Amino acid sequence: METILSLKKLDKKYGQVHAVNNLSFDIQKGNVYGILGPNGSGKSTTLGIILNVVNRTSGEFSWFNGKLSTHEALKKVGAIIERPNFYPYMTATQNLNLICKIKGISTDKINEKLTTVNLFERRDSKFKTFSLGMKQRLAIASALLNDPEILILDEPTNGLDPQGIHEIREIIKEIAANGTTILLASHLLDEVEKVCSHVVVIRNGVKLYSGRVNEMTASKGLFELKVDENEEKLIELLKQHSAIDKINKEHETFIATLNTEISSTEINEYLFKNGLVLSHLVKRKPSLEQQFLDLTSNN
Amino acid sequence: MLRLLTIEFHKLKHNRASKVLSLIYFGLLTSIALIAAIKFEFGNFKLHLADAGIFNFPYIWHFNTYMAAILKFFLLLVIVSMMANEYSYKTLKQNLIDGLSKKEFILSKFYAVILFALVSTIFVFVISLILGFAYSDYNELSIITTDLEYLFAFFIKLVAFFSFGLFLGILVKRSAFAVGAMFVWLIIESIFKGYLFWTFQNAENTTEKVNRIMQFLPLESISNLIKEPFSRLNAVKSAANMMGETFTKSYAVEFSTILIVSFWTFIFIYLSFVLLKKRDL
pLDDT per residue as tens digits for the range A85-108 = 999 999 999 999 999 999 999 999
Of A74, A87, A97, the CB nearest to B99: A74
pLDDT for residue A193: 79
Query: How long is chain A?
Result: 299
pLDDT at B235: 64
| Cβ separation B280–A48 shorter than 8 A | yes
Query: Which stretch, A235-249, B49-63, B87-101, B233-247, has highest mean pLDDT?
Result: B87-101
Contact (CB<8Å) A102/B280: no
The distance of A152 to chain B (nearest Cα, Å) reads: 10
Closest chain A C-alpha to B85 CA, distance in angstroms: 9
Q: Kindly state whether B280 is in contact with chain A, defined as any CB-CB distance less than 8 angstroms.
A: yes
Model confidence pLDDT, tens digit, residues B196-255: 999 888 888 888 888 889 999 999 999 999 988 887 776 666 676 777 666 567 788 889
Report the pLDDT value the prediction gives residue B247, as an integer from 0 to 100.
58
**How many CA atoms lie less than 13 Å away from A243 in the CB half-sphere?**
15
Does the pLDDT at position A299 exceed 70? no
Contact in structure between B82 and B105 (CB atoms under 8 Å): no
Q: Are B157 and B68 in contact (CB under 8 A)?
A: no
Q: Which residues in chain A are closer than 8 Å to B281, comparing Cβ atoms?
A: 48, 53-54
B7 to A88: CB separation less than 8 angstroms, yes or no:
no
Number of cross-chain residue pairs from A and B with Cβ atoms under 8 Å apart:
78
| Relative orientation angle of helices B206-214 and B175-199, to the nearest 10 degrees | 150
Taking the Cβ of residue A162 and every Cβ of chain B, the question of whether any pair is shorter than 8 Å is answered with: no
For chain B, which residues make up each domain, given as ranges?
2-278
> In terms of CATH architecture, what is A222-298?
2-Layer Sandwich (3.30)
Least confident range of B67-76, B139-148, B156-165: B139-148
- Any A CB within 8 A of B281 CB: yes
Please tell me which residue of chain B has the smallest CA distance to A73: B99
Supply the pLDDT for residue B193. Answer: 93
The percentage of chain B sitting over the pLDDT mark of 90, rounded to a whole number, equals 60
Among residues A83, A155, A143, which one has the least CA distance to residue A117? Answer: A143
Alpha carbon of B9: minimum distance to chain A alpha carbons (Å): 10
SS3 A155: coil
B58: confidence class by pLDDT, cuts 50, 70, 90: confident
Q: In the prediction, which pLDDT does B244 show? A: 66
| Better pLDDT: B101 or A284 | B101
**Residue scoring higher pLDDT (B239 or A238):** A238
What pLDDT, on a 0 to 100 scale, did the predictor assign at position A195? 81
pLDDT at position A6, please?
93
- A102 in contact with B, Cβ within 8 Å: yes
Looking at chain A, which residue has its C-alpha nearest residue B90? A85
Instruction: State residue A282's pLDDT score.
Output: 87
Task: Note whether B278 contacts A: Cβ–Cβ < 8 A.
Answer: yes
> What SS3 state is found at B138?
coil
The alpha-carbon gap from A63 to the nearest alpha carbon of chain B, in Å, equals 13
B159-173: average pLDDT: 95
Check residue A241 and give its pLDDT.
85
Contacts of A55 in chain B (CB under 8 A): 277-278, 280
Tell me which CATH code domain A3-215 carries.
3.40.50.300
Cβ <8 Å between A53 and B280:
yes
Domain range list for chain A: 3-215, 222-298
Decide if pLDDT at B33 tops 80: no
B141 Cβ partners below 8 Å, 6+ apart? Answer: none
DSSP for A96-129, written as a single string:
HHHHHHHHT--STTHHHHHHHTT-GGGTTSBGGG
Contact A52 B101 (CB under 8 A): yes
Q: Which residues of B touch A89 (CB under 8 A)?
A: 14-16
% chain A with pLDDT above 70: 97
Q: Is A19 a residue whose pLDDT tops 80?
A: yes
pLDDT(A219) > 80: no
Which residues does chain B have within 8 Å of residue A94's beta carbon, measured at their own beta carbons? 10, 14
What average pLDDT score do residues A218-239 get?
A: 82
Range A177-209 burial, b when 16+ CB lie within 10 A, else e: eeebbbbbbbbbbebbbebbebbbbbbbbbbbb
CB contact under 8 A, B96 and A103: no
From chain A, the residues in CB contact with B100 under 8 A are 71, 102
- Model pTM above 0.90: no
A188 touches chain B (CB under 8 A): no
pLDDT tens digit string along A130-177? 998 899 899 989 999 988 989 999 988 888 888 888 888 888 888 888
Which tops the pLDDT comparison, A191 or B166?
B166
Calpha distance A252→B159 (Å, rounded): 77
User: Best interface-test mutation with A: which of B98, B105, B277 has the largest number of A CBs within 10 A?
Assistant: B98
B97 Cβ under 8 Å from any chain A Cβ? yes
Query: B240 or A192: which carries more pLDDT confidence?
Result: A192
Q: Tell whether B2 is within 8 A of chain A (Cβ).
A: no
Q: What does pLDDT average to over chain A?
A: 87
Of B3, B91, B94, the CB nearest to A104: B3
Task: Check if B16 contacts A (Cβ < 8 Å).
Answer: yes
pLDDT band at B96 (very low <50, low <70, confident <90, very high): very high
- DSSP secondary structure string, A210-265? EEEGGGSS----EEEEE-SS-HHHHHHHHHH-TTEEEEEEETTEEEEEESS---HH
Confidence at A294, pLDDT banded by 50, 70, 90:
confident
Tell me what the mean pLDDT of segment A273-277 comes to: 87
pLDDT digits (tens, 9 = 90+) for A47-66: 999 998 999 999 999 999 88
pLDDT given for residue B15 in this prediction:
92
pLDDT given for residue B246 in this prediction: 61
Give the residue from A194, A197, A257 showing the smallest Cα distance to A225. Answer: A257
Do A98 and B10 make contact, defined as CB atoms within 8 angstroms?
A: yes
